[in-house]
Structure 1
Amino acid sequence: MRINSKICLFLTLAAALATADAKAAEPNIANRIDATHLLAQKYKLPQVDESRTRRVRRNVKPKQKGAQETFWVNNIAENKFEQIAATLQAVGQNCYIFVENTQKVSDKALNRIKTKFDKQIYPITTANFGPENNPGLDGDPRITLLLLDIQDGYKNPNDGYVAGYFFAGDQMLQSEFETYSKVKSNEREILYTDTYPSDVNADDYLEIVAHEFQHMIHNNHDKNEATWVNEGCSQIAPVLCGYPPP
């Protein structure tokens, strides 16, 4: 995959950061966990012949604010996929921001996430690591950002919690899984970020978005990349975007 010289200089340091212990919990803020590699280890995806033609949607009309959709999400605590309902609350140049219907995110926070993704995270991350699968299976160039309360068993500030994840299974058609498979695909380019106990107004929330977006990009270029390289790049991505490392 394409990595510029700046990335190479920082990669060794990033790998060390990736394996270090999480920061001590701040008041009301727990230690963050990236579930991307946990899910990759848990769910072994079937090998697909990507040279064959896939059913990809064409001439897709942009989604409209207020649209209601259901999504398959991973319940980390109960080790299963389940469906949630979410509403499209913001539409950017490069993203759709859906919010789980049980959660509340202010317009100010939504506009900030949209603007930072469009003007900072998307252009900087793609410039340094290459493009995501675009327009992807759903035929829509916009990436879905799903803001939800990830079910991870969080109860108090001393607990760890899942701050976000990218799931490679969403880059596959549901029909490509065995009929008995418990794995579910949303068949789109989608990132999952936590709304509780995460603070959607904080800079470190945008750091999570940049971190997970790099995982999406990396999956497009090298699905079998070594974990330490992939995670190292995701540690560097937010720094390039102007956000502190975790």
Structure 2
Amino acid sequence: MIFFGVSNKKILILALFFILLAPSAVRAVNSGDSVNFYIDSNYDSSARSQTTATLVKTTSNIYFYVEKKWLDSQMPAKQNEILLNLDSLSSEFSNRIYPTLTSVFGSEWKPGVDGDAKITILFHPMKEGTGGYFRSADEYLKLQISDSNEREMLYLPISQIDNPEIKVFLAHELAHLITFNQKDKIFDVQEEVWLNEARADYSSNILGYDTSYSGSNLQKRAQTFLEKPTDSLTEWQESKYDYGVVSLFTHYLIDHYGIDILVDSLKSKLTGINSINYALKRNGVKEDFSQIFTNWTITSVVNDCSLDIKYCYLNANLKNLRLNSTLNFLPLVGNSAI
């Protein structure tokens, strides 16, 4: 490109400016390399905002990093065990999690902010009860957000690195990564948290992880729902009770009206309840969100298909789930009374 009437100094400044704005080239990385990462202090077990991690495994679509301090403290036998666990997880991701969820919801931003199609997964110590997280900040250049890691990235708890159920957490966070692309990048809108979490939590069911009910994510959500069914559906407080309510509602919604409700609401410029109503109408459903929510609240108490098909869960694992009949109502927002 030729610039007319521009000094060499200005050309150099412009060139540097565009280089800084351009996505980073695909990086050459080797096992054993250490990288400093920004992390979320709200989830880190020591409330840190940064950590150093070691690259322990690279596949065709993943970089696996483990916090260096923790990894170095492990005996060689434990380190080898970790690598074997990551072999299993990477196989599950490549052969099941990634192709299944992207075929349903669409792709993450690819090759993304860093120009690298691989997804980075970082294991670091997290607060008890944290199953992982996704930072949308990482999807921006440092010029835009200073603590961006400038890559498509997911964070998982190091305490669960040898737990077979880590695949459920990974699927959940991948759904968030996909949602960022499908909503934020494509439509320049941010999904409401409750619906973002609804899709992510339902991913375990899409993948068949909830088929065996005992010990499943669905069973845990059902138990949590029974503990506090009065928790709001749409007011997200980042508590375990939020997940219980949103999970049970989502299962009712999809079992009755189909997965396309989640998909079409995602692939819309609308968000939250408005996007659900759009998807319902698009799929020829006469009821709107409000009517379905009411039917679900009744279902949560009676759960009896003989009364009407709309007053029961269709998932066989939920056929015996009922709340105490003294419950007055389940709130869309705020708290209810019992």
TM-superposed deviation, 1:232: 1.2
Where in structure 2 are the equivalents of 1:40-189 lying within 5 Å?
A: 54-58=21-25, 60-76=26-42, 82-104=49-71, 106-150=82-126, 152=127, 154=128, 161-177=129-145, 184-189=147-152
CA distance in 1, matches of 2:137, 2:43: 19
CA distance in 1, matches of 2:38, 2:169: 20
Counterpart of 2:237 in structure 1 is none
Report if the CA contact (8 A) 1:81-1:184 is conserved: no
State the SS of the aligned residue for 2:38: strand
Are the structure 2 counterparts of residues 73 and 171 from structure 1 closer, same or farther at C-alpha, using a change threshold of 3 Å? same
Give the gaps of 5 or more residues in structure 2.
1-19, 72-78, 185-189, 211-216, 221-338
Between stretches 64-73 and 99-108, larger displacement belongs to: 99-108
Are the structure 2 counterparts of residues 77 and 201 from structure 1 closer, same or farther at C-alpha, using a change threshold of 3 Å? closer
Once the two structures are superposed, residues 100-127 of structure 1 have per-residue CA deviations (whole angstroms, 9 ceiling, x without a partner) of 0122451211111111111111111111
Give the share of equivalent positions with the same residue, in percent: 29
Counterpart of 1:211 in structure 2 is 172
Amino acid of the structure 1 residue aligned with 2:63: Y
TM-superposed deviation, 1:143: 0.1
TM-superposed deviation, 1:77: 6.4
Are the structure 2 counterparts of residues 77 and 138 from structure 1 closer, same or farther at C-alpha, using a change threshold of 3 Å? closer
Aligned partner (choices 156, 181, 185) of residue 220 of structure 1: 181
Q: Return the structure number with greater helix share.
A: 2
Amino acid of the structure 2 residue aligned with 1:213: L
Give the gaps of 5 or more residues in structure 1.
1-52, 155-160, 178-182
Q: Return the structure number with greater strand share.
A: 1
Report if the CA contact (8 A) 1:92-1:118 is conserved: no
State the SS of the aligned residue for 2:40: strand
Report if the CA contact (8 A) 2:121-2:155 is conserved: yes
RMSD, aligned CA: 2.2
CA distance in 2, matches of 1:77, 1:146: 13
**Over 4 Å off, 4+ runs:** 77-81
CA distance in 2, matches of 1:184, 1:81: 13
**TM-score normalised over the length of structure 2:** 0.49
Once the two structures are superposed, residues 8-40 of structure 1 have per-residue CA deviations (whole angstroms, 9 ceiling, x without a partner) of xxxxxxxxxxxxxxxxxxxxxxxxxxxxxxxxx
Report if the CA contact (8 A) 2:43-2:130 is conserved: no
Instruction: Report which of the two structures shows the higher radius of gyration computed on alpha carbons.
Output: 2
State the SS of the aligned residue for 2:120: strand
CA distance in 2, matches of 1:239, 1:94: 23
Amino acid of the structure 2 residue aligned with 1:128: V
Counterpart of 2:289 in structure 1 is none
Confirm or deny that 1:241 pairs with 2:201.
Answer: no
Counterpart of 2:195 in structure 1 is 229
CA distance in 2, matches of 1:226, 1:186: 24
Report if the CA contact (8 A) 1:163-1:194 is conserved: yes
Are the structure 2 counterparts of residues 225 and 89 from structure 1 closer, same or farther at C-alpha, using a change threshold of 3 Å? same
TM-superposed deviation, 1:241: 2.1
CA distance in 2, matches of 1:243, 1:201: 17
Are the structure 2 counterparts of residues 206 and 77 from structure 1 closer, same or farther at C-alpha, using a change threshold of 3 Å? closer
TM-superposed deviation, 1:243: 2.0
Report if the CA contact (8 A) 2:172-2:203 is conserved: yes
Counterpart of 2:234 in structure 1 is none
Whose relative contact order is higher, 1 or 2, with alpha carbons under 8 Å and at least 6 apart?
1
Are the structure 2 counterparts of residues 80 and 70 from structure 1 closer, same or farther at C-alpha, using a change threshold of 3 Å? same
Counterpart of 1:193 in structure 2 is 156
TM-superposed deviation, 1:80: 6.3
Once the two structures are superposed, residues 89-146 of structure 1 have per-residue CA deviations (whole angstroms, 9 ceiling, x without a partner) of 1111111100001224512111111111111111111111101011111111000000
* Number of aligned residue pairs: 178
State the SS of the aligned residue for 1:141: coil
Report if the CA contact (8 A) 1:97-1:145 is conserved: yes
